[in-house]
């Protein structure tokens, strides 16, 4: 806003008033999203249209982890309690996962470098999922979804959201060994482009 003219064309918007307005806007946004999170059930039932509009405008970074969990009902999943036990188990997919981990967001600071924290938690979530859903097991492309979740939330929560996305939102259909659903999606996309 600094240096831009008001509609009247007579004066410039000062950088101090712009930053003052921005901080009030940020504060209002913080308060609004705090209210949404604390009154989630009410917002989902009574203010669904407004909630959708706000989500489409963008969820503030600090609220994404909890809002994504609330959106897919992943906050109190029983599988979250199994996560630490799953990590103690052995998966037939471990070698494949280890081989591919470095290829997932290789330039992102969180995942950069062998044995980085990002690579380790990504391995953990992928391994745990391969044990929960043995039909899908591990598929390289799914690590990009998990990686994105891990950029926003701790590994246990990312695991729960990923399980919900795969099971309730049919993402697992894209990653089954036949990849039939993926072929269908690509066909639909190409048809829409034509």
Domain boundaries, the chain: 21-72, 78-169
Check pLDDT > 90 for residue 119. yes
150 to each of 79, 154, 176, how far by Cα in Å? 17, 6, 23
Q: How far apart are CA 93 and CA 101, in angstroms?
A: 12
pLDDT of residue 76: 83
- Taking every pair of Cα atoms in the chain, the longest distance, rounded to a whole number of angstroms, is 70
Whether domain 78-169 has CATH 2.40.50.140: the reply is no
Check pLDDT > 70 for residue 14. no
pTM of the model: 0.81
The mean predicted confidence, pLDDT, of the chain is 86
């Amino acid at each position: 806003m600094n240096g831009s003219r008001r509609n009247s064309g007579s004066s410039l918007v000062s950088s101090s008033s712009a930053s003052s307005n921005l901080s009030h806007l940020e504060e209002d946004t913080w308060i609004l999203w705090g209210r949404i999170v604390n009154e989630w059930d009410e917002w989902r039932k009574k203010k669904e249209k407004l909630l959708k509009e706000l989500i489409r405008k963008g969820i503030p970074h600090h609220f994404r982890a909890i809002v994504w969990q609330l959106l897919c009902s992943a906050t109190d999943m029983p599988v979250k309690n199994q996560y630490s036990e799953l990590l103690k188990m052995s998966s037939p997919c471990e070698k494949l996962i280890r081989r591919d981990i470095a290829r997932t967001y290789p330039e992102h600071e969180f995942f950069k470098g062998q044995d980085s924290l990002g690579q380790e938690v990504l391995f953990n979530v992928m391994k745990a999922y391969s044990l929960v859903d043995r039909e899908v097991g591990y598929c390289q492309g799914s690590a990009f979804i998990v990686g994105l979740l891990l950029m926003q939330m701790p590994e246990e929560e990312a695991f729960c959201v990923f399980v919900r996305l795969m099971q309730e939102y049919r993402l697992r259909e894209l990653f089954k060994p036949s990849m039939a659903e993926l072929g269908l999606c690509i066909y639909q996309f190409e048809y829409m482009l034509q």
